[in-house]
């Protein structure tokens, strides 16, 4: 079974530029998450989708961050304009609709450096 795919793995931009990250979750997983992981910290939830609807975006800085999951599969996270403090690893995760253990499956992350 293919895992969660993310791209690009690395991105370096200057402040005030824009960037987009892409995520393809595990096939059949209804729930998709974007987390921000700043160096030395644990992952912080930015947004959670259930199919193509937003379940929780309370921690998303909506003045500069946006995310969509139009067809309930792939998702894109955009930052515009970027700030220095946005330098972090952006992790995408997915889980199945079956409550079960609620296990999250993570991608390898997209590392963003803002200069």
Partner 1 sequence: GEDVEQSLFLSVREGDSSVINCTYTDSSSTYLYWYKQEPGAGLQLLTYIFSNMDMKQDQRLTVLLNKKDKHLSLRIADTQTGDSAIYFCAESITDSWGKFQFGAGTQVVVTP
Exposure class string for 91-107: b at 16+ Cβ within 10 A, else e = bbbbbeeeeeeeeeebb
Q: Which is nearer to partner 1, 3 or 18 (CB)?
A: 3
CB of 98 to partner 1, least distance (A): 11
- Cα–Cα distance, 12 to 24 (Å, whole number): 22
Taking the complex as a whole, the smallest distance from the CB of residue 16 to partner 1 amounts, in Å, to 28
In the complex, the smallest distance separating the C-beta of residue 109 from partner 1, rounded to whole angstroms, is 6
> For 97, which DSSP code?
S
Measured in whole angstroms, the distance separating CA 110 from the mean position of its chain's CA atoms is 9
C-beta of 26 vs 81, nearer to partner 1: 26
Q: Which residues bind partner 1 (CB under 8 A)?
A: 4, 31, 33, 40-45, 48, 50, 55-56, 91, 93, 95, 99, 101-109
């Amino acid at each position: 079974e293919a895992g969660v795919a993310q791209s690009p793995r690395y991105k370096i931009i200057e402040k005030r530029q824009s960037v987009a990250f892409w995520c393809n979750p595990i096939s059949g997983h209804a729930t998709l998450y974007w987390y921000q992981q700043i160096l030395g910290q644990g992952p912080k939830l930015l947004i959670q989708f259930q199919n193509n609807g937003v379940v929780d975006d309370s921690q998303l800085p909506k003045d500069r961050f946006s995310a969509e999951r139009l067809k309930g599969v792939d998702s894109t996270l955009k930052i515009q304009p970027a700030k220095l403090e946005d330098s972090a690893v952006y992790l995408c995760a997915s889980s199945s609709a079956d409550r079960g253990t609620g296990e999250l499956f993570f991608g390898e992350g997209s590392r963003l450096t803002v200069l």
